[in-house]
Chains A and B, each alone.
Chain A
């Protein structure tokens, strides 16, 4: 980094930093922070990637080696086949993008109805949705599980079906709230003009609201995918069949009895997609994170 970003005045003033003593302290702290953070947050990832390249013996050797003495890239192939990573990865993607599609369709439609169509009892419904954010998730886990076991009215058992993961993700009050607030900011004149031109509610949603809402839809989509990717307890309960399990559950249950370097290689493979996804979309993820939680 050649030059610093423009900066407003913070705790320590620019003039204080420009003094000789200040500069020495600043550069020492900066070096320590950059070095320390790299070690603490990137170090474990380095250990994962290189650990997967070590031999079974080397990975549990004491003292540990910084770099593999002999490269064993075949460990990755072994991890892929032994832990059936292809299957687990496919399941995870299937659950994540299915959940994304359902959330986009139903949460956008719900937020649009609450924001622009304003039905009777709309505010009560929004209130009841937001109230669910106050209920600790752990409290509902048992009755939710029983619901999936025997869906009310239809009496369907959703265990081992992707719907057991997809359907509950739609009940996301936070998404609906974020979307509704964004839709509220779309001028009423614009909607009225569309109505005069004869556009029905579907058409107004499709050609006016959606094109204007790209940023918020991006944020909601990213969180939808990441949440499914990271979830543990719920998929463990509702997908007991090993053939249907996502990465988190599958690797954890298959990891026992497999050499450690193979497990480490599997973890490296399992981490790669979200890490790459994050590096690609980090701007939207970070702005979504702060906008979603600050302005509420």
Chain B
């Protein structure tokens, strides 16, 4: 009897310690998650909520903006992978080979991550300006063709990706660098004795040795880039020329906060959740099968 009372008291103390976090999780992640699902089947009009079944889903998929936004998001994700995944890895490999100025270079690469996004974004907006912008000036001085950057539907998304890569590559680079430093030197030694050149050493030693962290970051990066919002929102006002930079999260934002249509916003959010969860599941399955 006394033992169980002691156990009860211990539990009460523990829950006392947990209370603050539980309230915050309850209010701001667990309850909103449930509410998101409920809302996607509801419609709110003049403060009155009614069940509409799958009407929200039908409605958003019949909106041409839906397919447009997914197309743009996919384009952004592919471009961001080409740049945002490959560039930090190559930079990390390069930095790992240098024997000097390492600390300085590491600080430089991470510096943009510490800037407030408004500073990086406006900075790029000025650089991209077709009239007085620095980028066109440099291209012009090198006798290369200049670009309309954010002002043309053809180049707007790529411009957003370049800016986003500059802003965010620091974190990934440092993580790759740490992974590279964990590769045992003997492996390179052995490969070299077997006559493997530089490229073959990268292919047969560096990449397999860092594969776990590479594939984990690839997954995280895809999930993060599919949710891109701030960069296109600030650089191009959310839509860009001919809606060329309107992404899925931009569309969620517009449904909810420009049109007050919470049901459609929730339905679109849920579609996104399903797509990303499905993607992660397939990805994990594939990488397991490979082993």
A residues apposed to B, CB below 8 Å: 1, 4-5, 7-13, 17, 26, 29-30, 33-34, 37-38, 40-42, 44-45, 47-48, 60-64, 102, 105-107, 109-110, 112-114, 117-120, 122, 125, 128-129, 132, 134-147, 151-152, 167-171, 173, 176, 201, 226, 229-230, 232-233, 237, 247-249, 251-252, 255, 260, 263-264, 267-268, 270-271, 274-275, 277-279, 282, 285-286, 289-290, 293-294
Contacts and interface: CB of A to CB of B under 8 A. Distances in A.
B99 A60 contact: no
Chain B, interface SS category: helix
Nearest to A27: B100
Interface string B220-258: 000100110110011000000000000011001100110
Contacts of A255: 122
A226 B29 contact: no
Given A62-B132, A143-B32, A294-B213, A119 B188 contact: no
Nearest to B192: A13
Given A147-B27, A270-B119, A10 B96 contact: yes
Given A152-B31, A267-B119, A267-B123, A142 B256 contact: yes
Interface stretch (B10-18, B51-59, B75-83, B147-155): B10-18
B71 interface: no
Contacts of B13: 117, 201
Contacts of B117: 230, 232, 248
A5 B102 CA distance: 9
Contact of A110 (B17, B98, B198, B229): B17
Given A33-B94, A119-B15, A152-B31, A42 B111 contact: yes
Contact of B17 (A38, A44, A113, A169): A113
Contacts of B35: 143, 146-147
Contacts, number: 275
Contacts of A41: 108-109, 111-112
A80 B256 CA distance: 34
A117 B252 contact: no
Given A143-B36, A201-B17, A290 B178 contact: yes
B41 interface: no
A138 B223 CA distance: 11
Contacts of B95: 33
A230 B132 contact: no
Given A11-B202, A110-B18, A248-B118, A138 B227 contact: yes
A188 to B, nearest CB: 15
